Amino acid sequence: MCIRDRNNTNKAYEICLESGDPTASFFMAKHMESIGDIEKAIPLYAKAQQLNNAVRLARESNNDNEVMQLSMNAPKQVALQSAAYFESKGYIEKAVILYIKGKNAKRALDLLSLIHISEPTRLLSISYAVFCLKKKNNL
């Protein structure tokens, strides 16, 4: 399909989403990124299993929810990059979870030591991170 105008672009986008074809989704994602439609490029890269590109765009557009969601299913290196991203933004709990996913338990423990464990916390993600680290250390 030749994409010459916005209507054709939207139609091609819908076809890619419906078909789930990874190759078509990848090329459509590249097109969407090239025209600046990042919001549509991210899910297309994800459908194409190009999670590194999807996460990169989500980080560049400060879409933190999307970064976290995609990084949980991404390869180890992408998870570690996202962990550093969240750490730099001060989102310690997200960074810890992604460091664990990326198999960097040492950095996760270092960050956990910055949190005052004696303070009451409602952050389920921190509790989950501590549980994972304890489980890993018991093995």
CA 118 vs. chain centroid, Å, equals 30
- Give the pLDDT of residue 124: 52
- Give the pLDDT of residue 131: 61
78 and 67 Cβ atoms separated by less than 8 Å: no
Residue 55 Cα distances to 68, 79, 86, angstroms: 8, 9, 12
- Give the pLDDT of residue 43: 94
- Give the pLDDT of residue 138: 57
Calpha distance 21→54 (Å, rounded): 16
Calpha distance 47→22 (Å, rounded): 6
66 and 42 Cβ atoms separated by less than 8 Å: yes
Rounded to 10 deg, the angle between the 38-47 and 64-71 helix axes is 10
Using alpha carbons only, give the angle 38, 41, 46 rounded to the nearest 5 degrees: 130
- Give the pLDDT of residue 111: 87
- Give the pLDDT of residue 113: 79
Please report, as a single letter, which amino acid is at residue 50. Q
Calpha distance 86→43 (Å, rounded): 21
Calpha distance 13→19 (Å, rounded): 10
99 and 80 Cβ atoms separated by less than 8 Å: yes
- Give the pLDDT of residue 2: 39
Structure tokens at 12: 């091609």
- Per residue of the chain (139 residues), what is the pLDDT tens digit? 434 455 688 888 888 888 889 999 999 999 999 999 999 999 999 999 999 999 999 999 999 999 999 999 999 999 999 999 999 998 988 999 999 999 998 999 888 877 755 455 545 555 666 666 666 555 4
